[in-house]
């Protein structure tokens, strides 16, 4: 899938910046990392992350969509899709 | 193991509880003595976590109605509402509920959980949108998921966040179903219903209020938060339960939309489960009469609620946001909260232990619920034991 690199990179950096504010998240966040298994976010902290991103981009994610997101890359792509919709 | 592998974390957690000698999530009431007393682990215990808000479980009028119904109609209906499980009593209770709420239609379900599953999953489906409060009960989440609609959630009781989500939906907002609760089961706080209704007037959405913990508790006639806020006419659907203020088991939905009746023919949790027993229906009908007859029980309930909330507050405990019959006490970590729960039980008080994610924001709680049947002395005893607790357990979150 062709990804507009600039937008993707910007969103990735923004998500990374939000994640870095969470306790116990590894210092080096890579896009292939799984949000729950690798970054150690439990369900409540995942919702905090989602709400911060929703406010930052003025978008809403359905719980149905969130169930399909596993990695940081999945999340960034989903944000990008929502912004472009 | 195979299928059970996914429950390994439960086994691990349970082992730790077993080592403590009691599993707080699997307590046996060895003998129930009254609405406020029981025997647990061999000792007499004061019950302060039962949702028995009006204390009607031992009301002689309700018991007699249940006994009579069992003698005359048998122990069960052995069928669903759709088949052979609608007796005259089920229909009568629906008429009485509709009259009590001043609504056109009522449907009785087998439990409150099943009422949420059945109504929400039937009213909404793929292509529809739901917005629910983040602290909604599991039955609301499950009902939403079962229907297959898009589910959005807003921050608990945050109408600014709700409005953002409505605005983002654009034209879809007017066909969206918003779900809130009269009193939230864990923190005991009310939904900001008046503000939500003013948003409804602007965005035109549908509104469902789950009055499970507020029926018999809020409003001049005990109809719940909708009545208290003077906005019954703005609420499209009210869902409730018979298992709290009405002292039995079962659930219902009332509405002024005549089409509610169609839900009977399309709701799987109505179609394919056995209906409430004659004893249940008879005791609920009697309890509803007691509830409707006057405010005495409600006044006692509120006096007890204020007494407990203020007593614990004066001790320095951090509590849920407002005094209601559900009083949430923050006790620190999971381990500290568990130790306090055990200490209270050993001293003769049963409350609910609530761990995350059942408790909001990752915190642990001791959840108390008061009853109209509690005496002043019983409430004072609860407060007094919470006072002793701080010293005995040496908590950093409790008062010194």
Do B137 and B154 belong together in one domain? yes
What pLDDT does A6 receive?
59
Beta carbons of A33 and A73 less than 8 angstroms apart: no
Residue B166: band (very low, low, confident or very high) from pLDDT cuts 50, 70, 90: very high
Structural domain including B357 reads 2-34+295-393
**In this complex, do B150 and A51 lie within 8 Å of one another by their Cβ atoms?**
no
Query: Band of the pLDDT at B294, cuts 50, 70, 90?
Result: confident
Residue among B151, B164, B357 whose CB faces A64 most closely:
B151
- What is the tally of structural domains in chain A? 1
Contacts of residue A63 in chain B, CB cutoff 8 Å?
144-145, 151-153
Tokens of B14: 């349970």
Site from A47, A63, A85 to mutate, B interface, most B CB atoms within 10 angstroms: A63
Cα of B225 to nearest chain A Cα, Å: 27
Query: Chain B closest CA to A60's CA: distance in Å?
Result: 6
B290: pLDDT strictly greater than 90: yes
Query: Is residue B1 predicted with pLDDT exceeding 80?
Result: no
Q: Are residues B287 and B304 in the same domain?
A: no
Q: Do A63 and B151 touch (CB under 8 A)?
A: yes
CATH number of B80's domain: 3.40.640.10
Given this model, what pLDDT does residue B253 score? 98
A43 touches chain B (CB under 8 A): yes
Q: Are residues B179 and B307 in the same domain?
A: no
Of B67-71, B76-80, B238-242, B332-336, the least confident: B332-336
CA-based nearest distance A45→chain B, Å: 9
Alpha-carbon Rg for chain A in angstroms: 12
Final residue belonging to a domain, choices B293, B328, B345: B293
Interchain contact A17–B (C-beta under 8 A): no
Please indicate whether residue B245 is annotated as part of the active site.
no
pLDDT the model gives residue B398: 53
* Domain stops at, among B266, B293, B320: B293
Is residue B125 within 8 angstroms of chain A, CB to CB? no
Model-level ipTM above the cut of 0.90: no
Work out the minimum CA distance from A17 to partner chain B, whole angstroms. Answer: 22
Boundary of a domain, candidates B293, B322, B350: B293
Question: What average pLDDT does the segment B339-358 reach?
Answer: 93
Contact state of B168 with A58 under an 8 Å Cβ cutoff: yes
Residues B128 and B260 in one domain: yes
Catalytic residue (choose from A23, A42, A55, A58): A42
Helix H, strand E, coil C: the string for chain B is CHHHHHHHHHHHHHHHHHHHCCCCCCCCCCEEEECCEEEECCEEEEECCCCCCCCHHHCHHHHHHHHHHHHHHCCCCCCECCCCCCCHHHHHHHHHHHHHHCCCEEEEECCHHHHHHHHHHHHCCCCCEEEEECCCCHHHHHHHHHHCCEEEEECCCCHHHHHHHHHHHHHHHHHCEEEEECECCCCCCECCHHHHHHHHHHHCCEEEEECCCCCCCCCCCCCCHHHHCCCHHHCCEEEEECCCCCCCCCEEEEECCHHHHHHHHHCHHHHCCECCCHHHHHHHHHHHHHHHHCCHHHHHHHHHHHHHHHHHHHCCCCECCCCCCEEEEECCCHHHHHHHHHHHHHCCEECEEECCCCCHHHCCEEEEECCCCCCHHHHHHHHHHHHHHHHHHCCCCCCC
Q: How confident is the model at residue B21 (pLDDT cuts 50, 70, 90)?
A: confident
- Percent with pLDDT over 90 in chain B: 89
Q: B218 with B323, same domain?
A: no
Q: B190 and B336 in one domain?
A: no
Same domain? For B248 and B341 the reply is no
- pLDDT number for residue B289: 98
Check whether residue B74 and residue B153 sit in a common domain: yes
Residues of A in contact with B356 (CB under 8 A): 44
* Position B44 in a domain: no
Owning domain of residue A41: 5-84
Is there a single domain that holds both residue B82 and residue B10? no
* Residue B220 and residue B295 in contact, taking contact as beta carbons nearer than 8 Å: yes
- Of the listed ranges A59-73, B137-151, B209-223, B382-396, the one predicted with least confidence: B382-396
- Cβ neighbour number for residue B9 with a 10 Å cutoff: 8
pLDDT at B31 over 60: yes
Residues forming a β-bridge with B177:
B130, B206
Rounded to the nearest 10 degrees, what angle do helices B112-123 and B138-147 cross at? Answer: 30
Tell whether the model's pLDDT for residue B19 goes beyond 90.
Answer: no
Nearest one of B299, B303, B354 to B328, comparing CA atoms: B354
Question: pLDDT (tens digit, 9 = 90+) per residue, A41-60?
Answer: 888 889 899 999 999 999 99
Structure tokens at B198: 């003013």
For B216-270, the pLDDT digits (tens) are 999 999 999 999 999 999 999 999 999 999 999 999 999 999 999 999 999 999 9
Give the closest of B144, B155, B356 to A44, CB-based: B356
Confidence band, pLDDT 50/70/90 cuts, at residue B353: very high
- Domain CATH for B29: 3.90.1150.10
Average pLDDT over residues B387-396: 72
* pLDDT at residue number B400: 44
| CATH number for the domain harbouring residue A77 | 1.10.1200.10
How sure is the predictor about B16, in pLDDT bands with cuts at 50, 70 and 90?
Answer: confident
User: Distance between CA B307 and CA B375 in Å, rounded?
Assistant: 11
Q: Average per-residue pLDDT in chain B?
A: 95
Q: Is the pLDDT of residue B359 over 90?
A: no
Task: Give mean pLDDT, residues B67-75.
Answer: 98
**What's the half-sphere exposure (Cβ side, CA atoms, 13 Å) at A48?**
15
- Provide the domain count of chain B: 2
Closest approach of B161 to chain A, Cα-based (Å): 9
Partners of B169 on chain A (C-beta within 8 Å) are 60
**In terms of domains, do B223 and B333 share one?**
no
> Does the distance separating the beta carbons of A42 and B151 come in below 8 Å?
no
Most A CBs within 10 A among B140, B150, B178, hence the mutation to make, goes to: B150
Beta-carbon separation of B152 and A44 below 8 A: no
B33, B37, B2, B63: which is closest to B283 by C-alpha? B63
Q: Do B299 and B269 share a domain, yes or no?
A: no
Q: Is B155 on the interface with A (CB under 8 A)?
A: yes
* Phi/psi of residue B140, nearest 5 degrees: -75, -50
Out of A67-71, B149-153, B198-202, least confident range = A67-71
pLDDT tens for residues A6-42?
589 999 999 999 998 887 888 889 999 999 888 988 8
pLDDT band for position B360 (cuts 50, 70, 90) = confident
- Residues of chain B with pLDDT > 70, as a percent, come to 98
């Amino acid at each position: 899938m062709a990804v507009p690199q600039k937008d993707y990179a910007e969103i990735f950096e923004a998500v990374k910046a939000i994640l870095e504010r969470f306790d116990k998240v590894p210092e080096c966040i890579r896009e292939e990392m799984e949000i729950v298994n690798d970054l150690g976010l439990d369900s409540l902290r995942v919702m905090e992350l989602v709400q911060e991103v929703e406010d930052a981009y003025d978008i809403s994610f359905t719980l149905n969509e969130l169930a399909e997101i596993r990695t940081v890359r999945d999340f960034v792509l989903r944000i990008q899709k929502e912004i472009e919709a | 193991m195979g299928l059970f592998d996914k429950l390994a974390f439960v086994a691990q957690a349970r082992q730790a509880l077993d080592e403590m000698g009691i599993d707080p999530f699997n307590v046996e009431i060895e003998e129930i003595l009254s609405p406020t007393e029981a025997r647990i682990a061999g000792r007499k215990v004061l019950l302060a976590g039962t949702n028995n808000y009006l204390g009607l479980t031992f009301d002689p009028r309700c018991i007699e109605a249940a006994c009579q119904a069992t003698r005359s109609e048998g122990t069960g209906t052995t069928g669903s509402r759709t088949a052979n499980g609608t007796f005259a009593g089920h229909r009568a209770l629906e008429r009485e509920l509709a009259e009590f709420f001043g609504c056109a239609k009522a449907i009785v379900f087998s439990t409150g959980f099943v009422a949420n599953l059945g109504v929400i999953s039937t009213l909404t489906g793929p292509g529809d949108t739901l917005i629910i409060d983040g602290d909604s009960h599991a039955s609301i989440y499950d009902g939403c998921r079962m229907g297959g609609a898009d589910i959005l959630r807003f921050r608990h009781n945050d109408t600014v966040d709700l409005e953002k989500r409505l605005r983002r939906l654009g034209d879809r907002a007017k066909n969206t179903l918003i779900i809130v609760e009269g009193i939230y089961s864990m923190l005991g706080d009310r939904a900001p219903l008046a503000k939500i209704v003013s948003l409804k007037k602007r965005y035109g959405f549908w509104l469902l209020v789950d009055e499970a913990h507020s029926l018999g508790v809020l409003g001049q006639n005990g109809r719940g938060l909708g009545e208290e806020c003077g906005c019954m006419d703005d609420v499209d659907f009210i869902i409730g339960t018979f298992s709290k203020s009405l002292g039995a088991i079962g659930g219902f939905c009332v509405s002024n939309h005549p089409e509610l009746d169609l839900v009977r023919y399309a709701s799987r949790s109505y179609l394919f489960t056995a209906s409430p027993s004659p004893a249940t229906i008879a005791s609920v009908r009697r309890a509803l009469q007691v509830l409707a007859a006057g405010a005495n029980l409600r006044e006692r309930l509120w006096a007890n609620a204020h007494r407990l909330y203020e007593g614990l507050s004066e001790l320095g405990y951090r509590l849920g946001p407002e005094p209601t019959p559900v009083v949430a006490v923050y006790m620190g970590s999971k381990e500290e909260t568990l130790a306090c729960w055990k200490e209270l039980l050993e001293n003769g008080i049963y409350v609910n232990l609530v761990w995350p994610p059942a408790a909001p924001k990752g915190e642990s709680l001791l959840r108390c619920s008061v009853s109209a049947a509690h005496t002043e002395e019983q409430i004072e005893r609860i407060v007094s034991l919470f006072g002793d607790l701080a010293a005995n357990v040496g908590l950093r979150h409790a008062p010194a």
